[in-house]
Amino acid sequence: MEKRVPLDIIASYLSTTEEVIKAVYGHFSPDFHAEVNDAQKTDRDKRAAAAQKKKASAAQAARSEDDRLLDSALPGYLTN
């Protein structure tokens, strides 16, 4: 199942039915719970994007604060 061999071939090789193969070995399939894995990946990607945006916003705020402090500490220094 991991190698994507068709279930009918596996069932024939093991002298059983596709239903038995699915019931007993279905968790070895790469598609097992694919929807859940996709949802988790999407959620993880959204959280990473939000964290990156928050980090960029904080960095911009820190640069703005540094500029403000520099301007208030050195009034007229750079203009003379």
> Residue 20: CB partners within 8 Å, gap ≥ 6?
11
Parent domain of 25: 1-32
Residue 3 scores a pLDDT above 80: no
Residue 78 lies in a domain: no
Residue 5 lies in a domain: yes
Residue 71's identity, in one-letter code, is D
> How many structural domains does the chain have?
2
Q: Domain check: are 66 and 37 in the same one?
A: yes
- pLDDT tens across 9-36, in order? 999 999 999 999 989 988 887 777 777 7
Q: Domain check: are 37 and 68 in the same one?
A: yes
User: DSSP character for 26?
Assistant: G
* Residues 32/7, Cβ–Cβ less than 8 Å: no
Residue 59 lies in a domain: yes
- pLDDT tens across 37-46, in order? 888 888 888 9
What's the confidence (pLDDT) of residue 74? 64
Residue 79 lies in a domain: no
